[in-house]
């Protein structure tokens, strides 16, 4: 098994984070510094910063209704970080991000292997948002944003936008650019007053209160990323 996969399956971090740790010289195998791409077996002693990794942990999947003001980071030095907010007894990390000034559904896990399967844009996984603007939105603006607008040097993918009322939209995106919805609206002269994510793929926020979290059901886990999960079970 590749070293970064072994580390992610231990629940220590994602594969990408594992590669960073290896590159920084913080990972050792049987007492020797690890190298990117190394293959390891069950008898190898893997350490991060001198601390041995334990056995492979059971996968954890959490749905959180993130309040505004909470930052989606595992950096415990940042006040209001999502890890300390959830206060789960085992190490977990967020899948993707939700801006500090946004609220709603975000998933957390200790399973680094599933992250890319959910986040990669080419998989076209849907995320649904309720967006409240500072003024009434026109049908022309909705059509323009639905077709794609230029932000961050790229044109956004087409998306589905429906009007809930004069100032509130339901937006379904398959893309996750930095502050994408706020930038899309701003490009047409609108400011977002409230942004709430209500769905990630087959996972719905439902009636879960702000700041509350729950474990995903088996049915929800299976629907998250069938290809990724199938790979894990081989």
Chain centre to alpha carbon of residue 82: 12
Q: Which residue has the tokens 């992610």?
A: 8
Tokens of 146: 């639905």
How far, CA to CA in Å, does 82 sit from each of 17, 100, 204?
A: 17, 10, 19
- The helix (H) or strand (E) run that includes residue 53 is none
For the chain, the farthest-separated pair of C-alpha atoms sits apart, in whole angstroms, at 64
Three-class DSSP category at 18:
helix
In residues, how long is the chain? 234
Among candidate residues 19, 44, 99, 101, the one labeled active-site is 99
Closest CA relative to residue 98, chosen from 112, 113, 80, 110: 80
Please name the residues in contact with 89: beta carbons below 8 A apart, sequence gap of 6 or more.
none
Helices (H), 32-191: 82-86, 115-119, 139-147, 180-186
Tokens of 30: 């049987």
Whether 75 is a known active-site residue: answer no
Tokens of 224: 């998250």
Three-class DSSP category at 189:
coil
Active site residues: 99
């Amino acid at each position: 098994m590749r070293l970064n996969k072994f580390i992610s399956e231990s629940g220590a971090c994602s594969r990408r984070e594992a590669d960073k740790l290896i590159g920084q010289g913080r990972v050792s195998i049987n007492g020797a510094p690890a190298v990117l791409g190394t293959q390891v077996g069950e008898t190898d002693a893997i350490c991060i910063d001198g601390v041995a990794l334990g056995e492979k942990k059971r996968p954890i999947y959490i749905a959180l209704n993130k309040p505004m003001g909470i930052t989606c980071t595992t950096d415990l030095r940042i006040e209001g970080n999502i890890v300390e907010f959830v206060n789960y007894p085992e190490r977990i990390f967020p899948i993707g991000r939700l801006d500090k000034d946004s609220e709603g559904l975000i998933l957390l896990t200790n399973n680094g292997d599933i992250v890319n399967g959910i986040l990669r844009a080419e998989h076209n996984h849907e995320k649904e948002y309720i967006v409240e603007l500072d003024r009434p939105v026109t049908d022309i603006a909705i059509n323009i944003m639905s077709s794609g607008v230029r932000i961050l040097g790229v044109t956004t993918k087409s998306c589905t936008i429906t009007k809930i009322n004069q100032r509130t939209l339901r937006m379904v995106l398959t893309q996750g650019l930095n502050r994408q919805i706020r930038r899309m609206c701003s490009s047409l002269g609108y400011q977002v007053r409230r942004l709430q994510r209500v769905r990630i793929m087959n996972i719905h926020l439902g009636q879960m209160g702000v700041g509350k979290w729950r474990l995903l059901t088996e049915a929800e886990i299976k629907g998250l990323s069938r290809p990724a999960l199938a790979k894990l079970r081989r």
